[in-house]
Amino acid sequence: MRDMLRRFGLSERGVLAACDASFKHGIRFDDWSGPGSRCLHPFHRHALPRDIAARWLASSGEPPFAAIASAQAALIAHERAPRPAGAPEFTGPVPYAYHLDAEKFAEYLAGELTSRGVTRQSAHVTGVLREGETVTALRTEDGAPLSADLWVDCTGFAGLLLPEEGRDWVSYADRLLCDRAVTMRVPEDDPAYTPAPFTRARALEAGWCWDIGLRHRRGRGYVYSSAHLSDDEAEAALRAEEGQHSAELPARVIHFTPGRRAAPWQGNVVALGLAAGFLEPLESTGLFLADFAARALVEMFPAAPGLPMQPLARRYNALLAEMHDDLADFLALHYAVAQRRDTTFWRDAAKAALRSERLRELLELWQLRPPSFADFSYRYSPFSHTAWEFILLGMGWRPATAPAGTTPCAAPAEALTRQMLDALPDHGTLLRHLAQACR
């Protein structure tokens, strides 16, 4: 997301102030391999010897692999920000992302676009006029039709601009069992409150619960399988997780089917965002997918007007299919290698994840050696082999050919991590500094 904001020419300070945002070092998966277990997926990785994973597997497993491989394990533990206060925007010694209010971000983007000359027209669409696969116009409530050469369908799961016969859905429900989420917003009015600089994803009975800290509130949600838990039970579990003060807070249940459109570009309509596909928010892939799809669409624009679009649409659809399939396998990995087996959901989820032939083949390969860049041919994925390695080793997965040793693993980059700890400010301190600079 940082690169996206920079490409858009936006102010980092402006986004942070307008969107109630905080910084994010990565995601911590709590209790996925049993009570008290923690698996960290950070954005940063030290430049380490190629065999560091093999060395760690031959050790006693201490310190945790993320603490060996990334400075962000220590930065999270000490609640450090990812960049100094005086650093240029979007720069710092480690990669980072943001937690932000999605609704405020949408309004902020709309304001930026209109200030740059983009026309924003608000209307309620009552009908779609078609000639074959081509959408010729949209009928609106005020009676004025809207016409365009190309339509981007952002109507969510419904995909209303796509033709009825073109809404085929490739489901991942056979390998990713979660299909509901109950969400809640928790106000934070205490002046001493500081948002955590990471996303917490804690395993619960039939799924997992997120805790995301913004500057003035926290976002809470329970992602679960409706085959294993009712909506009422999920809401009760979320409120119990948050505490008694959540009793009067409104909650909302969202239904979804994990999957993707078979062909998001048809005729002169391109489905984007939720209209093109959805994966549970386990690794915060939603905004990435929308941005990737938009960039890919721009790359597909023909060199001159009047040229045939079908070859471009085929390439675009193949690109989006590959991306969604790759991300679905990465999410399935979490359930496949998590060691939790105490409820029916976790036992079923582990089995379901292995319905992916590609994931089974990768895990078979990694019984022989740790993940390598050579295992992945899809170059556009946001998750390289090192991301898969953080999940594998962090969840407690261990190949049968690598029995645990008895001595701790040496940390080759310990001095560099210490330098970052000494140089970077507290997360709350940086947020307050940036907020004051925007006044």
Mean pLDDT of 89-116: 96
**What is the rounded distance in angstroms from the CA atom of residue 332 to the CA atom of residue 324?**
12
Q: Is residue 349 part of a domain?
A: no
Q: What is the DSSP string of 214-271?
A: -SSEEEEEEEE-TTTS-HHHHHHHHHHHH-GGGTTS-EEEEE---EEES-SEETTEEE
User: What is the SS3 assignment for 51?
Assistant: coil
In whole angstroms, give the CA distance from residue 55 to residue 74.
Answer: 20
CA 405/CA 397 separation, integer angstroms:
15
CA 5: distance to chain centroid? 16
Q: What are phi and psi of 360, to 5 degrees?
A: -60, -40
What's the alpha-carbon Rg for the chain, to the nearest Å?
Answer: 23
With respect to residue 218, please indicate whether it lies within any of the assigned structural domains: yes
The one-letter amino acid at 26: G
Residue 230 in any domain: the answer is yes
CB-count exposure of residue 168 (10 Å: 0-12, 13-18, 19+)? exposed
Closest CA to 148 of 171, 172, 168, 119: 119
| Inside any domain, residue 222 | yes
Domain that holds residue 201: 180-255
Query: Are the C-beta atoms of 336 and 390 separated by less than 8 Å?
Result: no
From the list 150, 181, 434, the residue with the least C-alpha distance to 302 is 150
**Which tens digits make up the pLDDT trace of 206-228?**
999 999 999 999 999 999 999 99
Domain membership of residue 72 (yes or no) is no
371-405 residue pLDDT tens: 999 999 888 999 999 999 999 999 999 888 877 78
Query: How many whole angstroms from its chain centre is CA 388?
Result: 14
Any domain includes 189:
yes
Q: Under 8 Å CB-to-CB from 114, ≥6 apart: which residues?
A: 120
Angle between helical axes of 357-365 and 310-337 (0-180°, round to 10) = 60
Q: How far apart are the first and last CA of the chain?
A: 24
pLDDT in tens, 268-291: 999 999 999 999 999 999 999 999
Highest mean pLDDT among 1-5, 121-125, 251-255, 430-434: 251-255
Say if residue 119's pLDDT is above 70: yes
State the pLDDT at residue 121.
Answer: 86
Cα distances (Å, whole numbers) of residue 103 to 19, 20, 87, 218, 243 = 8, 10, 28, 14, 26
Report how many domains make up the chain.
1
Measure CA 310 to chain center.
31
The catalytic site residues sit at 24
Residue 146: count of CB within 10 angstroms of its CB: 14
pLDDT at 439: 64
pLDDT digits (tens, 9 = 90+) for 334-370: 999 999 999 999 999 999 999 999 999 999 999 999 9
- Share of residues in the chain with pLDDT > 70 (%): 99
Note the pTM of the prediction, 2 decimals.
0.95
User: How does strand 22-24 pair with strand 97-99?
Assistant: antiparallel
Q: Is residue 201 part of a domain?
A: yes
Q: Checking phi first, is residue 195 left (phi over 0); if not, alpha (psi -120 to 50) or beta?
A: beta
Is the model's pLDDT at 176 over the cut of 90? yes
Average per-residue pLDDT for the chain: 94
In a domain? residue 68: no
**Between the CA atoms of 9, 11, 14 and 19, what dihedral angle is there, to the nearest 10 degrees?**
60
